[in-house]
Amino acid sequence: MNRCAAIQMASSPNVSANLLVAEKLIAEAATAGSKLVALPENFALMGEHELDKIKIREVDGSGPIQDFLATVAKKYSVWVVGGTIPIVGNDSNKVRAACLVYNDKGERVARYDKMHLFDVNVPGTSEVYRESDSIEAGAEPLVIDTPFGKLGIAVCYDLRFPEFFRKMSMMGVEIVAIPSAFTAETGAVHWELLLRARAVENLCYVIAPNQGGFHVNGRKTFGHSMIVDPWGVVLDCYKTGGGFVSAEINLDRLEKVRGAFPALNHRRFCE
C-alpha cells in the first residue's frame, strides 16, 4: 500500500505566496507518509481577472512554476500531480491549463491539458465563467504507469463527463487525480456526489484536491478535498481552508472489489 494526499488551498493573485503555501503543505503531507501528492487547480494563481493567467504563462518545460514542482518533488521524495499551470498554447491570447506530473526524482513524466472548459452561468448566482476566453482545450485523456497504480488525470469540469472517465477506464485506470476549483454553489450539491459516482462507476480510487475558501477576486470555492475508494467510501475529507487529506491506496482491495463486483466486464458499450 502507498499513502497519497490531496492538498487544499485558497490561492491568491500572489504566485510567490501561493508557492510557499503549497510547499509547506507538501512537506507536511510527505512527513505524514504520503508518496503521491496532488495539488488543486490554479494552485499557483487565482487571479483577480480571468486573463491574469496569461501574464504568468510559461513555455512548456521552462519556467518558475515548473521549476518549483520539480524541486519539491525531488526535495520531499514524492510524486507530485501539479494541479494546473498556464502553459503557452497555439493561440497567443490563450493558454493551456496543463496538469504536470513529476516523479520523486523531480523528473516530469506526464502532461494533461484540461479538455472540458467551464463556460457556465452558475444557476442562482450572478457568477459567470468563460474559460474558453483564455484557455485552449486539450484533446487527449491521460493514463500513466506509476508505482501506485495506473494514474489518470482529470481537471475540475471534466468531472461532469462520465464518458471521459469511461475512456480512462478502458485505458486501465486504477487511480484518478482530479485537481479542482469547484465553486461553493455547485460544490455544495454536486462535488461529493460526482466524485463518489466516478469512483463507483469505474471501480477506481479518486484523489480530489480542491480550492477551498474565499479568494481576492470575490470567488468562493467549496473545498471538501477528499479521497474516495473504489466502493465509493470517502476515506478522508478536509472541509475548508488550507490543509490536506491522506489515505492508503490499496491495489489489493481494488482488485478484490473488481473481482467480486465485475461491472467493468459487463459493459455493453465500449467505444
Q: How many CB atoms lie within 10 A of CB 39?
A: 30
Q: Which CATH superfamily is domain 2-264 in?
A: Carbon-nitrogen hydrolase (3.60.110.10)
Please, which residues bridge with residue 210 across strands? Answer: 180
pLDDT, one tens digit per residue, over 65-95 is 999 999 999 999 999 999 999 999 999 999 9
pTM above 0.85, yes or no: yes
pLDDT beyond 80 at 124 = no
pLDDT at site 103 = 98
Tell me what the pLDDT averaged over the chain comes to.
96
As a whole number of angstroms, the distance between CA 78 and CA 62 comes to 21
Domains in the chain: boundaries: 2-264
User: Active-site positions?
Assistant: 41, 114, 156
N-terminal to C-terminal alpha carbon distance within the chain: 32
pLDDT range class, residue 271, cuts 50, 70, 90: low
pLDDT, one tens digit per residue, over 207-261 is 999 999 999 988 999 999 999 999 999 999 999 999 999 999 999 999 999 999 9
pLDDT beyond 70 at 33 = yes
As a whole number of angstroms, the distance between CA 186 and CA 67 comes to 33
Sole residue written with cell 482545450:
137
pLDDT, one tens digit per residue, over 162-202 is 999 999 999 999 999 999 999 999 999 999 999 999 999 99
pLDDT, one tens digit per residue, over 2-20 is 999 999 999 999 999 999 9
pLDDT at site 49 = 86
pLDDT, one tens digit per residue, over 154-164 is 999 999 999 99
